Structure 1
Amino acid sequence: MNYNIRKADLKDLDTTAALFNAYRIFYRQADDYEKCKNFIQERLNNEQSHIFVVYADDKAVGFVQLYKLYHYIKLQKQWLLSDLFVHTDYRGKGLSVALIDRAKQLCDETGACGLMLETEKTNDIGNTLYPRCGFEYDSNHNYYYWWK
């Protein structure tokens, strides 16, 4: 399958927002394209994340979004692989792996020590994909959330 991956900018806002909305729906969130569009626009306007979109068959079919963090042990920048999504019609074709590889390339380009991510325990696809892509499972830590 022929594909290409491009870094998203504001001219890709509608396409990226549609993918982000589909991703959120996959995670059982309400369909809300306008909120997604505003969210992505704010990330891009403020350079708060890097978003890479994969195109296949001349249409956007997936994306990865990364946020900058800092690792307290390595004392270096790292990237949080926050969001990864490929449209269901294009899964199983290596596009998720290609997006992860692009995220790893961003680490090289920015001198970051690596990537970290979190996914639901029930995400069978992700929990199979990430170890195949060289990620190690950290069973020593629990993740906690505080929501205002």
Structure 2
Amino acid sequence: MISFGTLDNLPDLVGLFDKYRIFYKKDSDLKGAEQFLSERIKNQESVIYIYYDKNIAVGFTQLYPTYSSARMVKNWILNDLFVLEEYRKTGVATQLINKVIEFAKSNDANFVQLETQVDNFVAQKLYQHLGFELQEPDKEFLLYKKFI
């Protein structure tokens, strides 16, 4: 069962989010995770879905909006996707991503974008199977970042 992330199920989400961050080699920080997620939810800055198996939270995804002034559209970045290791390759990630696509379509988005590590071949195969297309570098615009 997939549920929308709210303050009511924040405790379930915090544990998953902490494990997600640990997967990406960050230190565990349950208090920081709770604060970060509660701010996203309270300020309506992200959309979160949680997958439950028999009332146990086993996966989640978090989306952030992105806008194009020139195109006058709102699209979504699938920023976070995590499934507990023992539930991987069971269809949980597929169901979460399909929920994201359904949500984006219902909100008139033109696309959902995501990034994954270059060596995460399992994820790449899943994304391609679900219709995501690997993009070539943009030929019209260059992306610059200044880290501060």
TM-score w.r.t. length of structure 1: 0.90
Deviates more, 1:134-143 or 1:98-107: 134-143
Q: What is the aligned-residue RMSD (CA, Å)?
A: 1.7
Q: 1:87 aligns with which of 65, 76, 84?
A: 84
Q: Which residue of 2 aligns with 1:19?
A: 16
Q: Which residue of 2 aligns with 1:54?
A: 51
Q: 2:9, 2:144 → 1: CA distance?
A: 34
In structure 2, stretches of 5+ residues that fail to align are none
Q: 1:70 aligns with which of 67, 71, 77?
A: 67
Q: Which residue of 1 aligns with 2:5?
A: 8
Q: 1:45 to 1:137 in 2, by over 3 A?
A: same
Contact 1:74 1:113 survives alignment (8 Å):
no
In structure 1, stretches of 5+ residues that fail to align are none
- What stretches of structure 1 move > 6 A for 4+ residues in a row? none
SS at match of 2:9: helix
Percent identity reads 34
CA deviation vs aligned residue, 1:92-117 (integer Å, no higher than 9, x gap) = 11110100000001112211112011
CA deviation vs aligned residue, 1:14-33 (integer Å, no higher than 9, x gap) = 11111111111111111111
Q: Which residue of 2 aligns with 1:147?
A: 147
Q: 1:137 aligns with which of 134, 139, 142?
A: 134
1:74 positional shift: 4.5
Q: 1:18, 1:144 → 2: CA distance?
A: 34
Q: 1:72 to 1:118 in 2, by over 3 A?
A: farther
Q: What does residue range 110-121 of structure 1 map to in structure 2 within 5 Å?
A: 110-121=107-118
SS at match of 1:66: strand
User: How many residue pairs get matched?
Assistant: 145
Contact 1:66 1:83 survives alignment (8 Å):
yes
SS at match of 1:15: helix
